[in-house]
Each structure stands twice: as structure tokens, then as C-alpha cells.
A and B are shown apart, each in its own frame.
Chain A
């Protein structure tokens, strides 16, 4: 198909504003998916996406639409996730498109990711089509919302379209507008191939599938290609597009979106952001790639049953193939045995990885409290990155500990600004400035330690603003903090999995809470067990679990020795399933609750 008849666009929005639902209507109108196969949020294909009702992975699909009198157009649509953890998926999708539908929920108005994603699209040079969605809702305020969007983009409210992705009202009109307003892809078909790898997937049988946006030239089956950054050379086994299933075709032309399979099995050889070119006639310059998403949140993932270690490693390897942002390295913990320190983009990402591991691979996992990465400057000038609080070098060797900060944008109705500011202050945030987006929405900018995000900042923001405030953030690097490592010692033994890095002024408070909770959680032992929270060698909080005093000593008929033996055997079996911390026996469940608890306590 000639380039002029191609339109590449994506749908971007704040979470839950209806992107995937709008995609459904497009699929119907273009008859891309047979009516009997259609389902709500059809492009949310992962089981987890369907269950949670959110999009996690961007999904591309090719559609055909005939616009009289011009004839047929090819539309490549990418549905994107709305959650801030996955905003890198949005940036990557933008690079494959010329236009973006910016969708805004008419009942919610402009929210933080509406703003964040709009900026991303503007930066990427895309044509933005602003659309107010959910106008069918009784509480919808299409006019007010259109005004907000118009203010945000500096356009006339009349240019903002109004639709209901649910009822379909205005959707076909929107599709026509996309064709009219989004420019066809530029690019010279005669030049050497340059295609951007904007995503990848892994197929057990066929190896790496590279998702491409062809910028110049074309790619055909059998072509000999190379990947410019990694230097990988390969022959194209299959070329195809998404319908949304992978559907093979003879070639992808300039401006097209699709995939290639080359038989490369090693995921390290094909990187998202790389440029594919042809070997005979290589392009001179690669396309600008992406910054690789850097995980900022870390947690230990351990198998409950240490025999499952290998299985866990395999499962992580497989997950990583479709989730480039996930990182994992082996680590061992005295308390938990062998496991992995995993890096995530955020808490939702972490939850999803955990859930997929448990669900898709049938693993039983212990996940430690998440922490951010710390930049530690040693006295000798060396800079190290600490992903696990228990790896923090001895404080006497440390000059400075820096923690990651984010630039946060919070949108809130004016009524809740006070509450939001208070929260920002409590969470060690630095308020920067504030402006009115409209009479009913204030945009507030501040810097916050990422560590505060990792706990429940977002939940708190929602609850203190009755759900009206929203948040978007980006990483801005490391800033020094007055931070210390807080160790938890059970019976004098430090429990590495419970160590954390906290602000010095809060160490005492946090130590008190965590020791108290542990005292309640850990069952009494045959001896007194001190529980201490310590910063270095200084104990900041202490509790004691008093020794057990009495067993169950029922009257039992003396002759029945067998029963007594069995009872003891059973208790011994039970003991085997305990976690040993030094000489202290902690039931598995209590240990897991202790970890979970330390997560909650951190959140307060």
C-alpha cells in the first residue's frame, strides 16, 4: 500500500479513561475482529490484564477502513497502558506513530497522566487529537472537560471531540478525523532500510519477535538484515502485522508497523530501541533509540520452598523476555535462603511480576519489602549502587548516601490542595510551584524521594483527596539524604530481609513499630527472645518475646504410647517447616507476615 494511505496512531490517556474500550469500537467499525470473537477490551490479551481491567503492555493492531471517496486506508493503532509504572511503553509507542488520540474521561477531567502523556506526545512531534470520552455517563461534564483539555493544549474547546467509547457515539467520526488530521508517515521508500524496534516478544518455538516501525525502505521475507546497535546479523524468516494476532505477509513497506522473526533465540541479541537495516546496503545512521527503562524499585523474591529456586530462575528468565524493564540478579539471604533481587519500574510492576510468577509458573513466593536504589559515595570517592539495604557498606566508610528523587506533578481540585501539600511535606517532599489549569483543577509540582512513592504515597494522595487528585512523575536523579540503615535483630541475629534504609530522624519511630509488631507475630520460644532495631551498633528500639511457659498437657491415658509418639512426630514435622533465625523458630506464615508487615510499617 502506498505511504499516503497509511496512518499510524496511538491512544494515550490517564489510567481508566477508556483507551482499550475505544480500541474495541475501532476494531468493530473496521471489522478487524469477527463479531463473534469480540470481547470487551479485546486488546488486553494477558489474563492478568483482563482480570485487573488494566492495560499493562502496549498492543498494536492493523485495521482497514474505506473513506469515500478516497478509498481504503491502512490504520496501525497502538493501545497503550495508562498507569505511570508503564509510561515507558507509551514513549516507545509514540515513536512508532504520527498521531495520538488524547482521551479524557468526561467525569474525571484532566488528570496527571493526561498531562504527562500529552507532553510526551508533543515532544515526539505527534499530531494530537483531543477527545472527551464517556459523555454517556450521567455525571459527565463534557463542556468543562473540553475546556480543560483546550487550556492544556492551547486550542479552542470546539476542536475537542466528544465521544462515548462505550455506546460508540462519535467514534466513526473520530476515526475519519484521524485519517484526515494525522499525517501519513514520511520516509523514502527508495532508501536503505531503517526500522525501529519498538517492542519485542518471545516465542518459545520461534525465538525473538521484533516489533518494527519501518521508517525508510522496506523489509521482505528472506531479507538479510542486521541490528545496528548489537551488530546481530540475521535472515528474516517471517514478516507480518498484527490483526492483533501475528499475521504473516510478504513485506512491510515504508511507514508500516509490524514484526519480523529471524530465528534469533538469544534475547540479548535483539534490543528494543535498536535500528534494523539491510546488510547489502546498510543505512549510514541509526534512528534515535530509547533510553532503556531503569528499574528504580527493588525487592527480594524468594521461593517459599528452597527447592523451587531453579524453577524461579527459569520463570524470571522467561518473563524477562516479554518484560524488558524487569531485572534480576541472584542473591542470598540468611533468613530466606537463595533468591533474586529484582528491579521494577514501580509497585504495580512489582505486583504484576509477582502475580505472574505465582500464577503462570505455579510458584509460592516470599517478597521482601521493596526499596529504592541508593547511590552511596564512599570516603574513598568510590560510588556504588545499593539495591538491597543489607548491602549498604559500613557507615564509617560512607561519605554520603543519595536517594532517587522524582519530579512529581499532582493535579487536584483546589479544595484538596491543603491536604495534598501536607502530605507532600510529611513525605519529605519539596514543594516547587502551583498553577491553575482551570478553575477546578490545580497543578502542583514538587520533588519527592522515590522511597516515599514506593510505599503508599499514591494511596494516601487518593484517600486524602477523596480520589480526586492524580499523580504523574519522572525520575530526576539522586539527591543526598540523612539516611541510615536500620537493622532488625532477632535474638541478637540480624535478619537481613528485614533491614531497611530510613531517614535518621524516623529511625526510632519506625524501629519501635516494627519491633512491636514482630513481638506480636513471632510465637514464644523456649527462651526469652529479644527483638531489637538498631542503627549500626546503637539499639533504637527493643522488645522481648517472653519464653514459653506451658505446653498443652492433656490428661491422656498412659497406656497409649503410640498416640503420644505420633503427636511428637507431628510437632517435629511442623518444626521442619519453620524458618530458623539463629535458634529462633518462626513459622513460615509468620515470617511472611513479618515481611509484609515491614512493608506496611514503612508505609506509615
Chain B
């Protein structure tokens, strides 16, 4: 089994964020942390024996608003309650400015062997415009702290497709990130919902987002750079040095069991999908009154499972066995259009297809 731990709090809200993250005070954090512990305990009472964790992923929000030792505390609790497999992967998302040298060391001692640093950009001005709570220097400092704490796998998140007038040249951003020699890089296109500050600015024409072609070019150029720097693409947005794939994320796409703990966390266990409420208050209240806040419990039948295998599996570079799409006319069409390719009994998205994965999936779903 795999475990996801959600920490919904951030020190401030980024201008592009529409996650259900919150800025809240220490008291809320404390109440939430105790609810988290409670939820973990309850699940440990429910789940069957063979449940040692293959991976733990702490995501948010910003889990690094906790100190390194608080993070360790939570992780050690999971170890006591569920047990860890020897090869367990333990990731934490870290804001570059949150932690000092000792936090990384504490985290490492608590078991963290992978940090995902939310760099997003490598230029102070751009970071400021994004509303990020850190500068560019913080990124390189965070990487070096993580390294010297002995954390064996370091990942950087980067945003591309930024507003034109910001003058950010993505290959330069990426080069600066590569100079830090991370083991793993995730690339995400900036997408703005109307509810966000930048989204409203875009709507009012105060900023101009690059067009489809420019964004595609940016992505392809970045991909080229990463490949020639020795990284492998194992998923649409994810690149890593050999052996540094995020196994926890791969598990989502391979439909392995995972338990999500915390407000808004999703789970897939024993053929069922379910989730916790987004509301931190509701989440805490339910747990403190002795219940599990679980909702939307949905059994996944064979047909649904088949579709999930296709739609999740195609995110990965290795693709899926061709037999999953046996007799699918749409597949031939996708191959003709150069969006998918067949390779020794498997099918996968081509480089063009990755950029159009939704459209491809909709075509396959259509049939």
C-alpha cells in the first residue's frame, strides 16, 4: 500500500493558485495535525495486516510549513502504525524558502529520501509576479541543503507558458535549474482559472498568455534539453535521471492501492475510490467526533477499471499493452495522425500526443 498525506496550508497564496490551499494560523495547523494523526490511527485499526508502505508522499499546500522535525514525527507515526517496506520512498514537497539546513537534516533522520522543491521559476522578478513566497537564490540554497543532509533524490517543479510580458525565456529557466543537477524535474504549464488573481488579469487583458503553438514549442524545446542532459521522460510532465522516477506517482498511474489522508485527499483501496472533504473544518470536526470523514465511495467495476488503465496508463512513456485497445478504430486514427505509436505489443503517446493527451483520450473514450 501507499500513503498520501495532505497538508493544505501555505504561508501565502500564490497568484495562480486555485488549489484548496489555505493560509491559516498555528492553532489551525495544530488542530489539523492532530486530526491527521487520528485519521492515521483509525485507518491502522481498519486495514488488514499486509499493509506495509511502499511509499509515503507528503503533499500540499506546503508541507514544509511544518518544521523538519514535525514532518519526521508524522512520518514516524506512519511507520509505527503501518510499517515501511525496506525500499520505501518517502517524498515531501518543500517550498524553497521554508527550511533551514537543520530541517532537511531532521527530515532525513525521519526517513525522507526524496524532496520535491517547488521552484516554479528561477528569476526573482518572475517569482515575485507569480506571488511565490521565495526568491531564486532560495532554490539553489534548498537544493544544496537537501544534498548535504544526504537526501538521495531531489526534484524541482517548474512552470512554463508564463505571460509573455514577463520576458521569461523558458530554456534559460530550465538551464538554471539543470545547473543545480536535480535528480528529477517536473514541468507544468501555467493554467489560470478565473478565480485566481492572474486569471482575472488575463481576462482583463492585463497580461497575455502565450498561444497554443508557442506553449507547445516551449514544451518540446524543454523536453529536448532534458533528454540531451540525460534525463528520461517517464510521464507527460515528469523527467528523471535513471532510477529517480517518483514511484509514488507511478503508482497512481498503475492503479496500485493508495490511502489518502488529510482534507481533500483521495484514495483507491480494494477496488474503491473515495475521498475526504475539502473543508479543513469539516475534516477536523468529523475526526474529533470519532468518525472517518470519508465520502464519495465508488466501487470501480471492470469496465471502469479498463478505462482507467487506458487513461492513466497512457500518461506514462511506457504506455499500455496494445490489447487494452484491441479493435479500437480510434487507435488507428491516432497512429495515422502521429499522436500514438505502437511498439512491441504496447502503445503509447508520441511526443505530439503527449501534448494532446486529453484530446487523444477523449477520442478513445468516444469509441
Contact = CB atoms under 8 A, between A and B. Distances in A.
Partners in one complex: yes
Interface of A: 524, 526-527, 546-555, 557-562, 564-565, 567-569, 571-572, 575, 583
Contact of B236 (A527, A546, A553): A553
9 contacts: A549-B216, A550-B212, A550-B355, A553-B358, A557-B19, A557-B59, A557-B266, A560-B275, A561-B266
Nearest to B190: A554
Nearest to B20: A557
Given A550-B212, A555-B186, A561-B273, 20 more contacts: A526-B334, A547-B337, A548-B212, A549-B213, A551-B358, A551-B359, A553-B357, A555-B157, A557-B19, A558-B253, A559-B252, A559-B258, A559-B267, A559-B268, A560-B266, A561-B312, A562-B266, A562-B273, A568-B365, A575-B362
A542 B296 CA distance: 52
Contacts of B212: 524, 548-550
Interface residues of B, number: 48
Contacts of B189: 550, 552-554
A562 B267 CA distance: 10
A552 to B, nearest CB: 6
B4 interface: yes
A550 B236 CA distance: 12
A554 B252 contact: no
Contacts of A569: 365
Interface in B329-363: 333-334, 337, 339, 352, 355-363
B359 to A, nearest CB: 6
> Which of B189, B266, B362 is packed against the most chain A CB atoms within 10 Å?
B362
A561 B366 contact: no
Interface string B314-338: 0000000000000000000110010
Interface in B237-280: 237, 249, 252-253, 258, 260, 265-268, 273, 275
B311 A568 contact: yes
Main secondary structure of the interface of A (DSSP, over half): loop
B308 interface: yes
B145 interface: no
A555 B308 CA distance: 19
> Which of A527, A560, A568 is packed against the most chain B CB atoms within 10 Å?
A568
A558 B2 CA distance: 13
Contacts of A558: 249, 252-253
Interface of B: 4, 19, 59, 157, 186, 188-189, 191, 212-213, 215-216, 219, 236-237, 249, 252-253, 258, 260, 265-268, 273, 275, 296, 298, 307-308, 311-312, 333-334, 337, 339, 352, 355-363, 365-366
Contacts of B312: 561
Contacts of A526: 334, 337, 339, 356, 359-360, 363
Nearest to B186: A555
A558 B235 CA distance: 12
A322 to B, nearest CB: 45
Contacts of A524: 212
A135 to B, nearest CB: 54
B188 A554 contact: yes
A559 B265 contact: yes
A390 B267 CA distance: 57
Contact of A548 (B296, B307, B359): B359
Contact of A562 (B296, B339, B365): B296
A527 to B, nearest CB: 5
Contact of B362 (A547, A549, A571): A571
A552 B191 contact: yes
Contacts of A564: 311
A548 B273 contact: no
Contacts of A546: 213
B188 A555 contact: yes
A567 B358 contact: yes
Contacts of B333: 583
A554 B268 CA distance: 22
B356 A549 contact: yes
Contact of A551 (B237, B249, B355): B355
A303 B157 CA distance: 50
Nearest to A583: B333
> Which of A524, A526, A575 is packed against the most chain B CB atoms within 10 Å?
A526
A552 B191 CA distance: 7
Contacts of A552: 189, 191, 358
B360 to A, nearest CB: 8
Nearest to A549: B216
A324 B273 CA distance: 63
Nearest to A553: B189
Nearest to B307: A565
Contacts of A527: 337
